[in-house]
Amino acid sequence: MADAPAARSGRAPEPAGPAGQDRRTVLAGALLGAGIAASVVDLAVFHLILHWHHFYDLSTTGVALFSDGLFHAFGWFVTVGSLFLLADVRRRGPVSRGRWAGALLAGLGAFQLFDGVVLHKVLRIHQVRYDVDLLLYDATWIGTAVLALAAGLGVLHRARPARAAR
């Protein structure tokens, strides 16, 4: 792909070549992981299947409610956007499955970690579950998040491009 003039037409400059392709693959994976954690896991598993999260507990403050809505909106935005980004990467050239999957796992873990620490404990938007001793639930939530993040980073590292030409 020729690199210089293509980026002139009103869009942010796009790094070309294998490095740009790899960067976009990792970005698409990480965003999909975060989006799945934010929208799909939270909505499908904890709201609709387990009924552990409350839809709205009346103690929620205005700030917490607003941040909850903002994360919700971002969750869907990055879930849909990252799939189209992956399609865009594929149409530009070959995609490394390992890099994409590793980034997905890392993104999922990173968002769950953020959710478990910042949203549950700092902003207190909602808790994992109500009317139970939270310590075990929080430890499991944060522990699996750290495991997923570590596993994702491990896969990313193993699948890294062979050449160190960056």
Partner 1 sequence: MSPHHGGPDWAAVEAAAGLVLVAGAAGYAAALWAARHRGPWPGGRTVLWFAGLGCAGASLLGPLAAAAHGSFVAHMVVHLLLGMAAPLLLVLGAPVTLALRALPVAGARSLSRLLRSRPVRVVSHPVVAGTLNAGGLWVLYGTGLYAAMHSSAPVHAAVHAHVLLAGYLFTAAVVGVDPDPHRGSLRLRAAVLVGFLTVHAVLAKRLSGDPPAGVGTADAQLGSRIMYYGGDAVDVALLVVFFAQWYAAGRTRTAPAAV
**Considering only CA atoms, which of 112, 107, 143 is closest in space to residue 45?**
112
Q: Residue 69, interface with partner 1 (CB under 8 A)?
A: yes
Q: Which of 20, 23, 52, 92 binds partner 1 (CB under 8 A)?
A: 92
Query: Residue 129: left (phi > 0), alpha (psi -120 to 50), or beta?
Result: beta
Tokens representing residue 109 in the block: 């873990």
Task: Identify whether the C-beta of residue 90 lies closer than 8 Å to the C-beta of residue 16.
Answer: no
Q: Which of 23, 41, 52, 68 binds partner 1 (CB under 8 A)?
A: 68
Q: Residue 60, interface with partner 1 (CB under 8 A)?
A: yes
Count, residues near partner 1 per rule CB under 8 A = 31
Tokens representing residue 76 in the block: 């869907």
Q: Which of 14, 18, 118, 144 binds partner 1 (CB under 8 A)?
A: 14
Q: Which of 13, 44, 61, 88 binds partner 1 (CB under 8 A)?
A: 88
Q: What are the residues whose beta carbons fall under 8 Å from the beta carbon of 152, sequence distance 6 or more?
A: 33, 102, 103, 104, 105, 106, 107, 108, 109
Residue 162's Cβ-count burial label (10 Å; 0-12, 13-18, 19+) is: exposed
Q: Residue 166, interface with partner 1 (CB under 8 A)?
A: no
Q: Residue 49, interface with partner 1 (CB under 8 A)?
A: no
Q: What x-and-dash track marks residues 109-148 binding partner 1 by CB under 8 A?
A: ----------------------------------------
The binding site for partner 1 (CB under 8 A) comprises: 1-2, 5-7, 9, 11, 14, 43, 55-56, 58, 60, 65-66, 68-70, 72-74, 76-77, 80-81, 83-84, 87-88, 91-92
